[in-house]
Amino acid sequence: MAQNVYSIKKEMCEIGKRIWQKGFCAGNEGNHSVRISDNRVLTTPTGISKGFLTPDMICTVDMEGKQIDTSNKYKRTSEVLVHLAIYKKRPDVKAVIHSHPPHATTFAIAQIPLPEGIHPEAEVFLGRVPTAPYATPSKQDLPDSITPLIGPQTNSVLMGNHGSVSFSTSLIDTYYKLEILDAYCRILLLTKQLGHANILNAQQMTELLEVKKKFGLPDERLACSAQGCVGEVNDPFLASFNDVRPSTACECGGGNVTHSTSTSGAMGDAEFETLVQTITDQILAGS
C-alpha cells in the first residue's frame, strides 16, 4: 500500500471531522474503517465523537474483528462487523463509513425506497440505493440484513430505521458517496414540499447511464432503461405528491393551469446537454 499506516490514520481523523461537522453523526455515533491489507483493517474506536479523533485512537483489527493492537487503550467499534461483512463480500472495497445522515435516515425510517430518474448526480455517483430491513445494532443481524443487498455496483445502503453505510475504493470517495447520498435525500424532501417532481424519461435516463458507463461506472440498469425500467421503485415516494392543482385555486382569469404529469415534463435537449456537461466536468475535476 502506497500510503503509510500513520497517514491513513490521520486521514481517518480528518474525515471524522467532516462527518461530524456535516451533522452526519451526533454524540459518539457512527464509525468508519479502511482496509490496509488482506487481513488488517483500521477502524474508529467505540465511544468517541467523530469530530475529536486523533491517530492514536484508531484501532487495528483482523478480518474476524479481533483487535490486534492490544496495547491501544481505545477499543474498536462494535459495528466493525458490518464493515468486515462488506469487505468480505466485495474485495474491491477499501473503505466503509457507517453514519446517521439525517435526510437519508428519514427515508430509512419511513421505509420509502430512494426514487430513481430524478437527479443526475445521484444516478451517476450512487446508482440504485437499496434499503435494508431494521436489524438490532451491534448484533450479527445487522450485517446479515445488509450484505444480501450488495451487488457488484452497490456503493450505498440505507439501514432500516437506523442510517446508512457507504463504501468505495478509497476513504475520500466513500465520504463523497455519503455526502451525495444525504444531499440527494435533502433535495428529495424539499421537492416533496413543492408537491411535484419531473421524472427523466426512458431516453434521458438511458443517455445518462451511457455517459456514466463512458466514465468507467457501469450501471446494470442500462440493459433495460430504454424500456422504462428505471423508476419502478418510485411509487411510494411519489404517492403523496399533490400533483394536480384544484380547479378552484385561481379565479383571476389566467386560465386553468394544468400541471404536467410526471412523465411528460421532459427536459429540452439543450437543457439535458448542459446537465450532462456539468456532470462530465465534475467527474473530470476529480470528484
Binding interface with Zn ion (CB under 5 A): 163
What are the phi and psi torsion angles at 16 (to 5°)?
-55, -45
The grid cell for 218 is 457501469
Q: Tell the burial category of 199 from Cβ atoms under 10 Å away from its Cβ (0-12, 13-18, 19+).
A: buried
Name which of 96 and 124 has its Cβ closer to Zn ion: 96
Q: Which one, of 50, 165, 196, lies nearest residue 99 by Cα?
A: 165
Q: Which residues pair with 35 in a beta bridge?
A: 41
Question: Nearer Cβ to Zn ion, position 117 or 163?
Answer: 163
Closest separation in Å from C-beta 209 to Zn ion: 32
The smaller minimum CB distance to Zn ion, of residues 161 and 287, is found at 161
Shortest separation between residue 47's beta carbon and Zn ion, angstroms: 13
Nearest CA among 97, 101, 84, 99 for reference residue 143: 84
Q: How far is the CB of 159 from Zn ion (least distance, A)?
A: 7
Closest distance of CB 286 from Zn ion, Å: 30
What are the angstrom distances between the C-alpha of 64 and each of 68, 84, 109, 120, 222? 11, 7, 30, 38, 37
Strand 31-37 to 40-43 pairing: antiparallel
Least Å distance, CB 258 to Zn ion, is: 45
The answer to whether 123 and 209 are in contact (CB under 8 A) is yes
User: Phi then psi for 164, rounded to 5 degrees?
Assistant: -140, 160
The answer to whether the CB of 50 falls within 8 A of the CB of 89 is no
**Closest CB to Zn ion among 101 and 163?**
163
Taking the least distance from each CB to Zn ion, the nearer of 165 and 188 is 165
Closer by beta carbon to Zn ion, 127 or else 163: 163
Q: Which residue is nearest to Zn ion (CB)?
A: 163
Kindly state the smallest distance separating residue 98's Cβ from Zn ion, in Å.
6
